[in-house]
Amino acid sequence: MITSTGNQKVKRLVNLKKKRKARDEEGVFLVEGIRMFREVPAGRLAEVYVSDSFYNKEGSTVGRVLGGSRIRTEILSDQVYAYVSDTKTPQGVLCVVRQKMYTLAQVAGGERAHVLVLDNLQDPGNMGTVIRTAEGAGVTGIIMSSDCVDVHHPKTIRSTMGSVYRMPLYRTEDIAGAVRWMKERGIHTYAAHLDGMLSYDEPDYTNPCAFFIGNEGNGLREEIAAMADSYIRIPMEGQVESLNAAIASAVLMFEAARQRRQQ
């Protein structure tokens, strides 16, 4: 059992928790909680750490999940586990998981492409909610500009509720190039924009499509919005001007899902 916060393994876990650079250099991220532990895809689970009290209660569960794998469970004292954890009420199990990124073709190359393009999204909770909602709406993949918040931020990971394992993600420094690539392949692009003349429920989304969602405070950058084939808006009542980025993307994604179900 590891009982000191000065232990090198503990220091590494804290570094992975706090620093994007450390996560990217190792190509891993941290997940916490029994559900996230159970859902880690085969081959991507690298390490497992548990609190002493959790292991005393759920050691058999850990054994069943790991099955015949060669991964050795590291036990931390409850105090050390609390030091490593990123949650206020730790469940007692933490995993190191290998990152996975997809190619642009894997995200947007299918005949039924239903893509989300995120431009400079900054809030980890919003990002996680978008990823989780995208899976529920049948989105084929998400394209992110390089200045978007880290998808492997602990808060983002928690907000995805496991969808980060399954949603194809593609991060690029050339978001404009990715948009051009999609348009060349017949994917119709829609910018969620206050200047939109079309209500979001007017276009036909049954064909390959992509929705552009911008920064929480500033919206889409002009140069990215200008690349869209159509501007769409979500009509508002009262004095509300716009919706939270995650909510707006959910409205658009599920409208496309609704239309496709009715084909």
Res 241 pLDDT > 90? no
* pLDDT of the residue at 101: 87
pLDDT digits (tens, 9 = 90+) for 208-240: 999 999 998 888 999 999 999 999 999 999 998
pLDDT digits (tens, 9 = 90+) for 89-131: 999 999 999 999 899 999 999 899 999 999 999 999 999 999 9
% of residues, the chain, pLDDT over 70: 100
pLDDT band at 133 (very low <50, low <70, confident <90, very high): very high
Res 68 pLDDT > 90? no
Cα separation, 14 vs 44, in Å, equals 20
Cα separation, 93 vs 54, in Å, equals 7
Cα separation, 78 vs 81, in Å, equals 5
What percentage of the chain's residues is helix, strand, coil (to nearest 5)?
40, 20, 40
pLDDT band at 247 (very low <50, low <70, confident <90, very high): very high
* pLDDT of the residue at 110: 87
Contacts of 169 (CB under 8 A, 6+ apart): 101, 102, 107, 131, 141, 142, 144, 151
pLDDT digits (tens, 9 = 90+) for 28-44: 999 999 999 999 998 99
pLDDT band at 195 (very low <50, low <70, confident <90, very high): confident
| Token pair 């500033």: residue | 218
pLDDT digits (tens, 9 = 90+) for 45-63: 999 999 999 999 999 999 9
**Domains identified in the chain and CATH numbers:** 8-98 (3.30.1330.30), 104-261 (3.40.1280.10)
What mean pLDDT is predicted for residues 171-189? 97
In contact, 243 and 194? CB cutoff 8 Å = no
Cα separation, 221 vs 242, in Å, equals 16
Cα separation, 213 vs 122, in Å, equals 12
Which tokens belong to 189?
A: 């692009």
